[in-house]
Amino acid sequence: MEKAMTPLFGIGYRRPYREALLARDLPEDFVLEIMGSHFFSNPLDLAPLVERFPVVLHEVMGSLGTEPPGTFDDAWLERMKKVVQIAKPLFVTEHLAFTRSASGADLGHLCPLWMTHASKDALVVRVKKLQDALGVRVLLENIAWPFVIPNADYDEASFLRAICEETGAGILLDVSNVIANAKNFGFDAQKWLDSFPVGHVEQVHLAGSQLHRGFWVDSHDSRVDASSYLLLDHLAKTKVPRAVIIERDGAYPPLEELLLEVARARSICSPSENDSRHNLSNQEVRMP
């Protein structure tokens, strides 16, 4: 097994949890994932969180797949720089997708890329520019595919591998997106992971999904399902990521419930803590 630095475990920060997070004792390995755009209007609101916790920054507005390559929404980039200066994140993460047209229209959704050689070259330029501008390593996140664009030059695994090798970027592997894709498009998630460049995986997302009109959607409004934990366990046999984040974007439970999910992820990635890594059918996880 490749051993990374001490792994961190935490949740995606959302405003309803602010007071509870700042008030309670949390494990030393607790990490917050913060949406940069949530703090664009007042970056100084980050300060109390940054004083307490290590931080990874997540974004959905970077639209790395937008053409032409090498250009950004300048206002977005300037705001990100201010947030990065205060947050001092371990990583900045964005999706392998586009959310904005070349004319600047917000598409309102993570749109998949046509994984061609030209698209790869464009991504390489953008990722390098983003890393240079922010001074932080970028991780690219795999999305839940609404559809797959045919006649591509790469599959997702080889596309990510090529970009990482050319830029020094890493991967944010959304394990639950892999599960959703496997169910929607009919493949074996563990076999898929076996051909994935897991050596580049630095961070993991876990989240709940919902079945909507026969299609699994990454709704982030329910508990992480057992199949996602099983795939995390499969990953951890090869690569323990630097950070594992529970994502929740709706039907917010008490913080304690999310911390139970964090504890379960921790136990999977730290098999010496208890036996739950080898007993994943057991839904009960004790807080450390």
CB of 129 or CB of 220, closer to Fe ion: 220
CB of 129 or CB of 193, closer to Fe ion: 193
The C-alpha atoms of residue 192 and residue 22 are separated, in whole angstroms, by 39
Q: How far is CA 258 from the centre of its chain?
A: 16
CB of 46 or CB of 172, closer to Fe ion: 172
Site string for Fe ion, 170-199 (x = CB under 5 A): ----x-------------------------
Binding segment toward Fe ion, per CB under 5 A, in 7-15, 23-31, 33-41, 169-177? 169-177
CB of 156 or CB of 174, closer to Fe ion: 174
* Least Å from the CB of residue 224 to Fe ion: 11
- Cβ neighbors of 262 (< 8 A, separation 6 or more) are 9, 10, 11, 30, 244, 246
**Is residue 248 involved in binding Fe ion (CB under 5 A)?**
no
CB of 91 or CB of 129, closer to Fe ion: 91
**Is residue 205 involved in binding Fe ion (CB under 5 A)?**
yes
Binding segment toward Fe ion, per CB under 5 A, in 17-25, 168-176, 222-230, 263-271? 168-176
Q: Which residues pair with 173 in a beta bridge?
A: 204
Structure tokens given for 243: 């950070």
The SS3 of residue 72 is: coil
The C-alpha atoms of residue 57 and residue 42 are separated, in whole angstroms, by 15
* Least Å from the CB of residue 248 to Fe ion: 11
Closest to 28 measured CA to CA, from 50, 7, 46: 7
* Least Å from the CB of residue 26 to Fe ion: 22
**Is residue 95 involved in binding Fe ion (CB under 5 A)?**
no
Run of H or E including 10: strand 8-12
* Least Å from the CB of residue 285 to Fe ion: 21
Residue whose CB is nearest to Fe ion in the complex, by number: 205
Q: Which residues pair with 138 in a beta bridge?
A: 92
The C-alpha atoms of residue 10 and residue 29 are separated, in whole angstroms, by 8
Contacts 24+ apart (CB under 8 A), 100-103: 100/61, 100/63, 100/66, 100/73, 101/66, 102/66, 102/67, 102/68
CB of 246 or CB of 268, closer to Fe ion: 246
CB of 174 or CB of 233, closer to Fe ion: 174
Structure tokens given for 156: 């997702």
Site string for Fe ion, 56-85 (x = CB under 5 A): ------------------------------
In the complex, the residues that contact Fe ion under the rule CB under 5 A are 174, 205
